[in-house]
Homo-oligomer: A and B are copies of this chain.
Protein backbone atom coordinates (compact mmCIF):
# COMPACT_ATOMS: atom_id res chain seq x y z
CA UNK A 1 0.00 0.00 0.00
CA UNK A 2 1.54 3.29 -1.01
CA UNK A 3 0.65 6.97 -0.74
CA UNK A 4 -0.64 7.05 -4.30
CA UNK A 5 -3.45 4.69 -3.44
CA UNK A 6 -4.95 7.24 -1.01
CA UNK A 7 -5.48 9.64 -3.89
CA UNK A 8 -7.70 8.31 -6.67
CA UNK A 9 -6.68 11.45 -8.54
CA UNK A 10 -2.93 10.79 -8.19
CA UNK A 11 -2.39 10.38 -11.93
CA UNK A 12 -4.03 13.74 -12.55
CA UNK A 13 -1.48 15.53 -10.38
CA UNK A 14 1.47 17.21 -12.04
CA UNK A 15 4.83 15.50 -11.38
CA UNK A 16 6.02 18.49 -9.32
CA UNK A 17 2.97 18.17 -7.07
CA UNK A 18 3.43 14.43 -6.72
CA UNK A 19 7.05 15.11 -5.75
CA UNK A 20 6.04 17.77 -3.23
CA UNK A 21 3.73 15.32 -1.46
CA UNK A 22 6.18 12.41 -1.53
CA UNK A 23 9.11 14.53 -0.32
CA UNK A 24 7.25 16.17 2.56
CA UNK A 25 5.63 12.99 3.85
CA UNK A 26 6.62 11.68 7.27
CA UNK A 27 5.75 8.47 9.04
CA UNK A 28 4.30 8.40 12.54
CA UNK A 29 3.56 5.63 14.96
CA UNK A 30 1.08 6.51 17.70
CA UNK A 31 0.05 4.50 20.71
CA UNK A 32 -3.59 3.88 21.55
CA UNK A 33 -4.95 6.80 23.55
CA UNK A 34 -2.62 9.44 22.07
CA UNK A 35 -4.27 12.73 21.17
CA UNK A 36 -2.88 13.44 17.70
CA UNK A 37 -4.64 16.69 17.12
CA UNK A 38 -6.68 19.15 19.15
CA UNK A 39 -7.94 22.67 18.70
CA UNK A 40 -5.11 24.34 20.55
CA UNK A 41 -2.39 22.47 18.68
CA UNK A 42 -0.56 23.74 15.68
CA UNK A 43 -1.82 22.54 12.35
CA UNK A 44 -0.91 18.88 12.46
CA UNK A 45 -1.25 18.18 8.75
CA UNK A 46 -3.15 15.71 6.62
CA UNK A 47 -3.25 12.26 8.23
CA UNK A 48 -3.28 9.10 6.14
CA UNK A 49 -4.22 6.05 8.20
CA UNK A 50 -2.08 3.04 7.23
CA UNK A 51 -3.28 0.80 10.04
CA UNK A 52 -5.12 1.30 13.29
CA UNK A 53 -8.09 3.47 14.12
CA UNK A 54 -8.70 7.15 14.89
CA UNK A 55 -11.62 8.87 16.55
CA UNK A 56 -12.64 12.48 15.92
CA UNK A 57 -14.71 14.11 18.65
CA UNK A 58 -15.76 17.45 20.06
CA UNK A 59 -15.60 18.52 23.67
CA UNK A 60 -17.94 20.69 25.69
CA UNK A 61 -16.70 23.31 28.15
CA UNK A 62 -17.43 20.83 30.92
CA UNK A 63 -15.37 18.11 29.24
CA UNK A 64 -18.23 16.05 27.82
CA UNK A 65 -17.43 14.36 24.53
CA UNK A 66 -19.27 13.19 21.47
CA UNK A 67 -17.77 11.11 18.67
CA UNK A 68 -18.21 12.82 15.31
CA UNK A 69 -16.60 10.23 13.07
CA UNK A 70 -13.97 7.53 12.96
CA UNK A 71 -11.15 6.82 10.56
CA UNK A 72 -9.91 3.42 9.53
CA UNK A 73 -7.24 1.97 7.24
CA UNK A 74 -6.88 3.99 4.05
CA UNK A 75 -8.90 6.93 5.39
CA UNK A 76 -7.63 10.45 5.10
CA UNK A 77 -8.10 12.99 7.88
CA UNK A 78 -8.64 16.53 6.65
CA UNK A 79 -9.56 18.49 9.77
CA UNK A 80 -6.18 17.90 11.38
CA UNK A 81 -5.02 20.25 8.63
CA UNK A 82 -7.88 22.69 9.04
CA UNK A 83 -5.47 25.65 9.00
CA UNK A 84 -5.54 25.13 5.22
CA UNK A 85 -9.18 26.18 5.19
CA UNK A 86 -9.85 29.62 6.62
CA UNK A 87 -13.54 28.90 7.03
CA UNK A 88 -13.14 25.99 9.45
CA UNK A 89 -14.24 27.56 12.73
CA UNK A 90 -14.53 24.61 15.05
CA UNK A 91 -12.19 22.56 17.19
CA UNK A 92 -12.05 18.87 16.70
CA UNK A 93 -9.92 16.44 18.70
CA UNK A 94 -8.38 13.41 17.04
CA UNK A 95 -7.25 10.51 19.15
CA UNK A 96 -5.81 7.09 18.35
CA UNK A 97 -8.37 4.47 19.37
CA UNK A 98 -5.89 1.72 18.58
CA UNK A 99 -2.14 1.71 18.00
CA UNK A 100 -1.98 3.51 14.68
CA UNK A 101 0.52 3.88 11.88
CA UNK A 102 0.18 7.11 9.93
CA UNK A 103 1.61 9.11 7.13
CA UNK A 104 1.51 12.84 7.71
CA UNK A 105 1.48 15.34 4.85
CA UNK A 106 2.35 18.78 6.23
CA UNK A 107 -0.56 21.21 5.79
CA UNK A 108 1.61 23.74 3.97
CA UNK A 109 2.71 21.23 1.33
CA UNK A 110 -0.83 20.02 0.75
CA UNK A 111 -2.13 23.58 0.60
CA UNK A 112 0.38 24.40 -2.12
CA UNK A 113 -0.78 21.44 -4.19
CA UNK A 114 -4.47 22.16 -3.59
CA UNK A 115 -4.07 25.80 -4.51
CA UNK A 116 -2.67 24.98 -7.93
CA UNK A 117 -4.36 21.70 -8.81
CA UNK A 118 -8.09 21.52 -9.57
CA UNK A 119 -8.16 17.70 -9.19
CA UNK A 120 -6.55 17.94 -5.72
CA UNK A 121 -8.94 20.73 -4.69
CA UNK A 122 -11.98 18.81 -5.91
CA UNK A 123 -10.80 15.65 -4.21
CA UNK A 124 -10.47 17.61 -0.97
CA UNK A 125 -14.05 18.86 -1.44
CA UNK A 126 -15.24 15.28 -1.84
CA UNK A 127 -13.56 14.24 1.41
CA UNK A 128 -15.15 17.17 3.20
CA UNK A 129 -18.55 16.36 1.70
CA UNK A 130 -18.23 12.77 2.95
CA UNK A 131 -17.49 14.00 6.50
CA UNK A 132 -20.32 16.51 6.18
CA UNK A 133 -22.67 13.64 5.42
CA UNK A 134 -21.53 11.78 8.53
CA UNK A 135 -22.11 14.87 10.64
CA UNK A 136 -25.61 15.35 9.20
CA UNK A 137 -26.33 11.71 10.01
CA UNK A 138 -25.16 12.39 13.57
CA UNK A 139 -27.55 15.36 13.89
CA UNK A 140 -30.41 13.17 12.73
CA UNK A 141 -29.45 10.53 15.29
CA UNK A 142 -29.23 13.03 18.13
CA UNK A 143 -32.44 14.81 17.18
CA UNK A 144 -34.78 12.04 16.20
CA UNK A 145 -33.51 8.81 17.74
CA UNK A 146 -34.08 7.89 21.32
CA UNK A 147 -31.03 6.88 23.37
CA UNK A 148 -31.95 3.19 23.58
CA UNK A 149 -31.70 2.95 19.78
CA UNK A 150 -28.44 4.90 19.75
CA UNK A 151 -26.87 2.63 22.37
CA UNK A 152 -28.04 -0.46 20.47
CA UNK A 153 -26.69 0.94 17.19
CA UNK A 154 -23.38 1.82 18.86
CA UNK A 155 -22.88 -1.66 20.35
CA UNK A 156 -23.65 -3.33 17.02
CA UNK A 157 -21.30 -0.99 15.15
CA UNK A 158 -18.50 -1.63 17.67
CA UNK A 159 -19.05 -5.35 17.36
CA UNK A 160 -18.82 -5.11 13.57
CA UNK A 161 -15.61 -3.04 13.77
CA UNK A 162 -13.99 -5.41 16.24
CA UNK A 163 -15.39 -8.57 14.70
CA UNK A 164 -16.26 -9.76 18.19
CA UNK A 165 -19.25 -10.07 20.51
CA UNK A 166 -17.22 -9.21 23.62
CA UNK A 167 -16.51 -5.47 23.67
CA UNK A 168 -13.94 -4.05 26.06
CA UNK A 169 -15.73 -0.80 26.75
CA UNK A 170 -16.50 1.00 29.99
CA UNK A 171 -19.86 2.69 30.45
CA UNK A 172 -17.92 5.96 30.62
CA UNK A 173 -16.43 5.32 27.17
CA UNK A 174 -19.85 4.56 25.67
CA UNK A 175 -21.25 7.73 27.24
CA UNK A 176 -18.39 9.73 25.72
CA UNK A 177 -19.10 8.35 22.28
CA UNK A 178 -22.76 9.25 22.49
CA UNK A 179 -22.41 12.57 24.28
CA UNK A 180 -24.37 11.54 27.33
CA UNK A 181 -23.72 10.72 31.00
CA UNK A 182 -22.32 7.48 32.39
CA UNK A 183 -25.28 6.96 34.72
CA UNK A 184 -27.68 7.09 31.77
CA UNK A 185 -25.67 4.49 29.86
CA UNK A 186 -25.42 2.22 32.91
CA UNK A 187 -29.21 2.33 33.35
CA UNK A 188 -29.74 1.52 29.67
CA UNK A 189 -27.23 -1.37 29.67
CA UNK A 190 -28.87 -2.87 32.75
CA UNK A 191 -32.18 -2.76 30.92
CA UNK A 192 -30.53 -4.47 27.92
CA UNK A 193 -29.12 -7.11 30.29
CA UNK A 194 -32.54 -7.75 31.85
CA UNK A 195 -33.90 -8.21 28.34
CA UNK A 196 -31.19 -10.79 27.60
CA UNK A 197 -29.56 -8.73 24.87
CA UNK A 198 -26.19 -8.25 26.59
CA UNK A 199 -24.16 -9.49 29.55
CA UNK A 200 -22.25 -6.92 31.60
CA UNK A 201 -18.84 -7.51 33.12
CA UNK A 202 -16.19 -5.22 34.57
CA UNK A 203 -15.07 -2.92 31.74
CA UNK A 204 -16.82 -5.02 29.11
CA UNK A 205 -20.15 -5.60 27.39
CA UNK A 206 -20.90 -8.89 25.70
CA UNK A 207 -23.57 -9.04 23.03
CA UNK A 208 -25.78 -12.10 23.61
CA UNK A 209 -28.69 -11.47 21.24
CA UNK A 210 -27.61 -9.55 18.17
CA UNK A 211 -30.97 -9.99 16.44
CA UNK A 212 -32.94 -8.52 19.30
CA UNK A 213 -30.51 -5.62 19.56
CA UNK A 214 -30.80 -4.98 15.81
CA UNK A 215 -34.59 -5.12 16.03
CA UNK A 216 -34.50 -2.45 18.76
CA UNK A 217 -32.15 -0.29 16.68
CA UNK A 218 -34.39 -0.52 13.60
CA UNK A 219 -37.73 -0.26 15.41
Contact = CB atoms under 8 A, between A and B. Distances in A.
A78 to B, nearest CB: 9
Contacts of A92: 136
- Classify chain A: how many residues form its interface, as a range: 35 or more
A61 B219 CA distance: 13
A127 B60 contact: no
A69 B126 CA distance: 21
A161 interface: no
Contacts of A127: 87
Contacts of A68: 136, 139
Nearest to A89: B133
Report copies per complex.
2
Contacts of A62: 144
A73 interface: no
Contacts of A82: 129
Given A64-B144, A66-B143, A136-B90, A115 B126 contact: no
A191 interface: no
Contacts of A121: 118, 121-122, 124-125
Contact of A122 (B89, B114, B129, B143): B114
* Top-6 shortest CB links A-B: A121-B121, A87-B129, A89-B133, A87-B130, A90-B136, A60-B144
Interface of A: 58, 60-62, 64, 66, 68, 82, 85-90, 92, 114-118, 120-122, 124-133, 135-140, 142-144, 179
Contacts of A64: 143-144
A114 B139 CA distance: 29
A136 B58 contact: yes
A68 to B, nearest CB: 8
A143 B122 CA distance: 32
Nearest to A122: B121
Contact of A126 (B87, B90, B131): B87
